[in-house]
Amino acid sequence: MQNETTAVVPAPKPNLTWTSLKKTFRLFRYVKPYWGEFALGMVFLLISSLAGLAFPRLLGDLVDPKSMGDLLHGLNKAGLMLVTVLVAQAIFSFFRTVLFVNVSEKTLAALRQHVYSHMIKLPMRFFLERRVGELTSRISSDITLLQDTFTTTLAEFIRQMIIVIGGVVILLITSWQLTAFMLAILPIMMVAAVFFGKFIRRFSKQVQTQVAAANTVVEETLQGIINVKAFANEQFEIARYRQRTNEAARIGMKSGKFRGAFSSFIILGIFGALVSVIWRGVSMGIGTPQLLSFILYSVFIGGSIAGLAEIYTSLQKSIGATENLMEILDEPEEAITPVTHIAPADQLDGQISFRNISFHYPSRPDLTILKDVSFDVDEDQKVALVGPSGAGKSTIVSLLLRLYDPIDGRVLYDGKPGTSIQLSVLRSQMAVVPQDVFLFGGTIRENIAYGKPDATEDEIEAAARKANAWEFIRNFPLGLETIVGERGIQLSGGQRQRIAIARAVLKNPRILILDEATSALDSESERLVQDALDKLMEGRTSIVIAHRLSTIRQADKIIVLDKGQIVEQGTHTELIGVDGGLYRMLSEMQFSH
Ligand SMILES: Nc1ncnc2c1ncn2[C@@H]1O[C@H](COP(=O)(O)OP(=O)(O)OP(=O)(O)O)[C@@H](O)[C@H]1O
């Protein structure tokens, strides 16, 4: 199965239009700081391309030293000129490449950083509408594509244009009749060869897909050989394999015919065209040396025209990539600012009110998730949200974190509307201990310090102790430096939760949000987690999404949700006494197990 996060989504190939070109020009904003280097690179490119243009002419002279007076002297002179041109071209090409690579590396690093820092500040709504794979490929493959454009494609484009225009001018001066004859046939053949080549490559891709499909049959059946045998399905699998391999062979043979045609085309078309030009030149009485440089120019021009066809495709792709990036950059960011200090006026006491909140997710406007939800949480209270799956508990938490804004109604913090408090200031005073604890691939220390990046060693240790995590961390040979995540050790569910608790302890939030883990921990682990949570909840407002009702008996208030509405509110004792109440029913169901 394809992994969502690594799937590369190719950029669509748009047509070259004025608006898309205008978007591409916005890229040059990133090149601006390196304009000097870029311009110098351009100059070198011009010189080396022009030098390259002198090459066929000089080769002609080398064959025909007579044109330069004394035979030996002329030969040496032509040879020397050629060597000079070659060396100059080599030197200029070197500097041109280095300059262009420098400019594009710096430009694209800046672009990458800009896109990423913009992307991560976009509102949740944006992430609901896109797949992670799509976004990662925007930042990885699209920008890599642009890198190629800046380092090679652009330079190639200019070089090829100089060769085509300069070459044609030189040829016209030599003989306009022969030039017209050559231009009428050779470039067309070259461009046809490029498209023919592409067409054939499509076939090899199809063959590869079929071969891969056939290999899947082998792999699956050998891995699950017991199933094949137990079902006596050998014949069925043989038929499946035969069908796929035959299909691969069929496409392969079809492509073989085109390959054959391609070779014939090259022989007849391109070499034929060259022969015709030579024949025509000789019959026009043009001398061998001139004819040689004429043919060389023609080959150069033909090659460059074919190259331009490739460049066009690659520019098209880059323009597509740029459009995608610009689209992301045009999305409005959330108002996220670095929070270094919270002014006393902005410090929350921890009182929360939901006032007539109605909500639907931006991606599903037809599906109302919360309907007229109102409740209050007092400072330092512990409030539990309970209700069947899908009732809207996590949605309430998302609104509290202002990941989304309600469609109707208001969320108030200490009586002030959320919209009047700076988003970063608000979020920096809340912490979440989620159900699925997300650990970054790094050390335990880094993962705990995520709650407060500038935490000291002592603070980290104290947080780990308070979270009942110190004991197990100390027992790892590397302690806090133990690597966790994909390439490190795997922590148990309870251990991960305690790391998340330590994070929250470090953050020391006014409002704590707990999403209880649904999967059961073993009783010892559960006791340690619960004890750490109880300590963490002390002295702050806590909202707990509870799945196991046994943990919330002491809550100051229990809010029971069903289908996006509050159906009951009260303490455990009050709610358990409601005949036919949802809370009572849910607890009876849980305790009867
Ligand atoms: N990002 C989203 N986009 C669209 N609909 C969503 C999104 N997230 C949740 N929902 C829908 O909102 C409803 C409430 O979901 P929510 O996660 O708030 O429920 P919950 O009470 O927390 O459930 P659970 O106990 O299973 O976690 C569900 O019907 C869910 O399908």
* Ligand 1 center to 419 CA (angstroms): 23
In angstroms, the CA 466 to CA 460 distance is 10
388 close to ligand 1 (CB < 6 Angstrom) = no
| ipTM surpasses 0.90 | yes
In angstroms, the CA 588 to CA 550 distance is 11
Taking CA atoms, 247 is separated from 209, 257, 258, 371, in Å, by 10, 16, 17, 57
How many Cβ atoms are within 10 Å of 410's Cβ, its own excluded?
15
Q: What is the pLDDT of residue 48?
A: 85
In angstroms, the CA 289 to CA 300 distance is 17
Q: What is the pLDDT of residue 66?
A: 63
Q: What is the pLDDT of residue 11?
A: 46
Q: What is the pLDDT of residue 518?
A: 61
Q: Which atom of ligand 1 is nearest to the CA of 392?
A: 18
| pLDDT above 60 for 10 | no
Mean pLDDT of 419-446: 87
In angstroms, the CA 431 to CA 58 distance is 75
pTM of the model: 0.74
393 close to ligand 1 (CB < 6 Angstrom) = yes
* Ligand 1 center to 143 CA (angstroms): 35
3-state class (DSSP) for residue 511: strand
Question: Cβ(20)–Cβ(323) under 8 Å?
Answer: yes
Per-residue model confidence as pLDDT tens digits over 335-392: 888 877 888 888 888 899 999 999 999 888 899 999 999 999 999 999 999 988 888 9
* Ligand 1 center to 124 CA (angstroms): 14
Taking CA atoms, 115 is separated from 4, 121, 138, 140, 147, in Å, by 20, 10, 9, 11, 15
What per-residue string of b and e applies to 564-589 under the rule 16 or more CB within 10 Å gives b? bebebbbebeebbeeeebbbbebbee
394 close to ligand 1 (CB < 6 Angstrom) = yes
| pLDDT above 80 for 468 | yes
3-state class (DSSP) for residue 107: helix
Per-residue model confidence as pLDDT tens digits over 551-593: 788 889 999 999 889 998 988 888 888 888 888 888 888 766 5
390 close to ligand 1 (CB < 6 Angstrom) = yes
* Ligand 1 center to 391 CA (angstroms): 7
* Ligand 1 center to 116 CA (angstroms): 28
- What is the C-alpha R_g of the chain? 36
510 close to ligand 1 (CB < 6 Angstrom) = no
Question: Cβ(297)–Cβ(167) under 8 Å?
Answer: yes
Q: Which atom of ligand 1 is nearest to the CA of 395?
A: 18
CA 183 to the chain's CA centroid: 44
* Ligand 1 center to 189 CA (angstroms): 61
Q: What is the pLDDT of residue 591?
A: 66
Question: Cβ(370)–Cβ(561) under 8 Å?
Answer: no
Q: In what order do the strands lie in the sheet with 541-545?
A: 430-433, 511-515, 541-545, 382-386, 557-562, 565-570
Q: Which numeric CATH code is attached to 339-429+546-593?
A: 3.40.50.300
369 close to ligand 1 (CB < 6 Angstrom) = yes
* Ligand 1 center to 341 CA (angstroms): 34
Q: Which numeric CATH code is attached to 13-174+316-334?
A: 1.20.1560.10
- The residue count of the chain comes to 593
Judged by phi (left if over 0) then psi (alpha if -120 to 50, else beta), residue 111 lies in alpha
Report the amino acid identity of residue 258: F
In angstroms, the CA 548 to CA 530 distance is 12
| pLDDT above 80 for 103 | yes
In angstroms, the CA 512 to CA 151 distance is 50
Read off φ and ψ for residue 457, nearest 5 degrees.
-55, -45
Nearest protein Cα to ligand 1, atom 17: 394
